[in-house]
Amino acid sequence: MTWKKFSGEIIQSSILEEIENAIIRESEKGYKLKVCIGTDSQVKGAITDFATVIVLLREHHGGFMYIHQEKSTQQVSIKERMLMEVQKSIETAYSICDLLDIYDVALEVHADINTNPSFKSNKALNDAMGYILSMGFIFKAKPEAFASSTCADKMVH
């Protein structure tokens, strides 16, 4: 799985190693970190672009992120696509959560799903929330889900 920085620079080491080095570096500078993971997608004709982001927030001092992008030709409903986004976020969270526990870094999984029932994405809200919470992760939906609705969103538009 290829991860890159916001600058476009490709991460040569494993994402786990990259995040561990970032945690050590930022902690040594005195920053308290929190990690937010989210995925967004955009349908473009027969192709769906997915972008998953790992956002490292420095408390009161901004943050930075890592991005993984992939494309799918699978045709799915909006609810299925929302749940695919959530699944990609959970897989990513699961792959780094042990590392974050070691360094006592908080983790949130963000879903790009609207809490307002008049939006189409709302159909997936209960399933997504149940999925994320049952995995033991903290769940955020819009408008608090900035990792998916702002950071990942920029990568697919």
Q: Quick check: 46 and 73 in contact, CB under 8 A?
A: yes
CATH code of the domain covering residue 44: 3.30.420
Residue 93 pLDDT > 90: yes
Total domains, the chain: 1
Domain with 116 in it = 4-156
pLDDT-derived band of residue 14, with 50, 70 and 90 as boundaries?
A: very high
CA-CA-CA-CA dihedral for 10, 11, 12, 13, to nearest 10: -170
**Which amino acid makes up residue 28?**
E
Report residue 96 as tokens: 């780094």
pLDDT-derived band of residue 20, with 50, 70 and 90 as boundaries?
A: very high
Helix, coil or strand: residue 18: helix
What does pLDDT average to over the chain?
93
The stretch 107-113 carries a mean pLDDT of 93
- Cβ atoms within 10 Å of 110's Cβ, excluding its own: 30
- Cβ atoms within 10 Å of 58's Cβ, excluding its own: 15
Name the pTM for this structure: 0.92
Q: Quick check: 104 and 32 in contact, CB under 8 A?
A: no
Nearest to 149 by CA among 106, 108, 114, 97: 114
